[in-house]
Structure formats: structure tokens, C-alpha cells
Amino acid sequence: MAWNHDDVAPNRSRDELLGDVVRRGERIRRRRRVFAGLGGGAAVVLMVAGIATVSGLGGEPTTQLAAGGRATTTVAPVTGGTLFAVDQPTTSVEVTPPTSRVPVATTVPEEPVTTLAPAPTVPETIVPGPKEPRCGPAVMQATITMAPTFVAGQPVTGQAVLRNTSGAPCYYYSYTATQEINDSLGNPVVPGSALIADAFEDTPFAPGQTLTQPVQWSQSAAGSYVARVSWSFDGPKVEAAAAFTVA
């Protein structure tokens, strides 16, 4: 922007000229701020740093205004009037184009699916039940063979027999054989004895097969007595009894 000599009165004082320069500088700064707001660039602020020399009309000395920031404004006197030339600084704004980032698809590998083999089938173990029929009173019979009378002081003897009276075998795991002698009131006169036989598995007892056990009493006294024997298998007992007297 330039001023001609008509803009400045030829007979103005130095203070008036300085005030005029300051006012024109303010207008220039306002215009630059407007320019910065419209153009999107950085605002240029012109600041007067100092005055070197202010001279009158027609002289050689010059007045230089140091612009704060990026530019320098020079005021030069002109012969025949006062002409000021103000160099407006050029403002350049660098615009950096935005960086476009293209999304990149990421493929996540699928984890392999592990298929478990079915567990082997364990064959069911079937435990067979006990064989039938079981040995007992339904298929067996017990008897005692002995004299009906004994002399006092003599030993009492006899024999007990167990027999499978059915036409088929019966089965047992174990059995217990017992015997005792009781007086006429039912009190035992001989301590009971027992025989235990364990087979630990199903054992057949064939048709007609027998088991025997002796009946003995070494010290006899006069009176009436009963000898009793029994075999106990997996169920009820198979029993036999025989009465005798001692005289």
C-alpha cells in the first residue's frame, strides 16, 4: 500500500505525522486479522518496535518502523511533500494434505477342531447269581440212628446222617454241622459242638449224596435224654432228634 503527497498536509508537525503513522498501522493490522480469519492462515501482527529517526520535509534522514515478527515497514520522506511507502509482508500458509489410512483386513486363522474318539465300550460283566436249587430242608433229610436205652455209666453213641432226597443236585457255598444232648427239662448236658465247612463257591450236592456226624456222650447218668443234630446251609437248618434213656 502506498500514500501520495496529497494524503499528508505539508505543514504538519512531527507529532501529528507520528500519530498518523500509528493510526494507519492499526488499520493495516485489522485488515491482516480479517485476512487471517478469512483465509485460514496465521494472523500477521504488525508491531512497531521503535522509531529510528523522524525528519521534516525535504530532508535525507528516514524513519524505519521495525515490524515485530516477520516484516519491516520503511517510511521514506519524499521531496515536495511527504510520501510513505508501506511494504505489506507476504504471508504463506502451507497446507498439509490429510493422510488417508486404508484399512487392511486381517485374517485370523481358525484353530483346528480336535475331535475326540469315542471311549471304548467296556463289555458289561454279568455276575451269575447262585445256582438253584439251594440245599436245605426242601430237598434234604437228616436222621439219627442210636439205641433207645443205655446202662448208666456206659458211653452213649449214635450216628447222624444227612441225605439229598431229591432227584437233582442242590448247591451250597458252606455249611455248619452241630450236635447236643439235652435232659428232660431241655437243659444241655453236653456242650454243643460245631463243624464248619467252607467251599467259597457254588458246590453241588448230588442226589442221594450223604453227610454223617457221630453222636457221643462219654459220661451218662440215669434219666431221659434227647440227642439233636443239625446242618445249616445258606438257609433254614436241616434237623433231626432221637430220644433215649439211661437206667
Length of the chain: 247
Q: pLDDT > 90: what percent of the chain?
A: 36
Neighbouring C-beta atoms of residue 67, cutoff 10 Å: 21
pTM to 2 decimal places: 0.48
Write down the pLDDT at residue 34: 61
pLDDT of residue 147 exceeding 70, the answer is yes
Cβ 166 vs Cβ 200: under 8 Å: no
Are 224 and 128 in contact by the 8 Å Cβ rule? The answer is no
**Assigned C-alpha cell, 9:** 498536509
Question: Residue 196 pLDDT > 80, yes or no?
Answer: yes
pLDDT tens-place string over residues 63-85 = 444 444 444 444 444 444 444 44
- Are 238 and 160 in contact by the 8 Å Cβ rule? The answer is no
Q: Do 65 and 21 contact (CB within 8 A), yes or no?
A: yes
Distance (Å, rounded) from C-alpha 23 to C-alpha 1? 14
The boundaries of every CATH 2.60.40.10 domain in the chain are 140-246
Least confident of 9-23, 54-68, 147-161, 218-232: 54-68
Find, among 187, 247, 178, the residue nearest to 215 by Cα.
178
At 109, the pLDDT band (50, 70, 90 cuts) reads: confident
- Please report the pLDDT score of residue 100 as a whole number: 61
* Lowest-confidence pick of 25-39, 87-101, 214-228: 87-101
CATH code for the domain defined by 140-246:
2.60.40.10
Q: Backbone dihedral region of 40: left (phi > 0), alpha (psi from -120 to 50 degrees) or beta?
A: left
- The predicted pLDDT at position 99 comes to 62
Alpha-carbon distance 66 to 77, whole Å?
17
Position 142 pLDDT exceeds 80: yes
